Amino acid sequence: MQSVPVLTIDLINDWLRNRGAGMYGGEAVTQLEHALQCATLAKADGAAPELVTAALLHDICHLAEGLDDRTYPHGPTGAAMLEELFPAAVTEPVRMHVDAKRYLCAIEPLYWSGLSGASKRSLMWQGGPFTPDEAAAFIAQPHAEDAVNLRRWDDEAKVPGAETASLDEFVAIMQSVASVQKSAGEKAA
C-alpha cells in the first residue's frame, strides 16, 4: 500500500497552483476553483482561520498522485496528510466532511435533493445516509458542527466563474494557523 505524503505549506501551495487545474469530480469547476470558493464562503460567514483553512484544504487528497478515493478515503486521508502541520480544528472537519454529508442526508429530508449528481453518486459508495443512531453519534463528536458547516460550503462551492479571494490570501491564513500549531507543539515539547 502506498504511503500518504505529509504536507508542508510550500507543497500545498504547489499542489493547488500546479495540480488544481483538473476538474473537480463531475462538477463544472476545477479543484482550485472549488477550494477557493469553499474557503471564500467560510471566510464570508466569519469562520475562524482554522475552519477557513479546513475549507480550503478539505479535498487536498484529490491532488495527491496515486491515491484512489475508494482505497484512500479523501476525508481521513487528507486529515492524516495535514495533521503534522495543523491543529485538530483544521484536520477534524477535513476528516469528517464526507460523514457530514451522510449526516445531513439523515436529518434534513430536502438535503439529498439539493446535492449535485456527482455528490449523490459518491454518497452511495461512501456509505449512504446515516441511520438515526449514526447521525446522533456523529454530531456528538468534537468538531462535528464545523464539519457540517464545511459540508454546506462544499456543496455551494461549485459555481463556474464565481469570484473568490486569492490563493495568496488563503496561503497567508494557512501560514498563520500552521505557525500557531508549531508554537503549541514547541511549548508542549
pTM of this prediction? 0.90
162: pLDDT confidence band, cut at 50, 70 and 90?
very high
Q: What is the mean pLDDT of the chain?
A: 89
Joined grid coordinates for residue 104: 445531513
pLDDT in tens, 124-140: 878 889 999 999 999 99
pLDDT at 62: 84
**pLDDT at residue 67 tops 70:** no
**CA 125/CA 108 separation, integer angstroms:** 20
DSSP state of 56: H
**CA 7/CA 46 separation, integer angstroms:** 26
**pLDDT at residue 185 tops 80:** no
142: pLDDT confidence band, cut at 50, 70 and 90?
very high
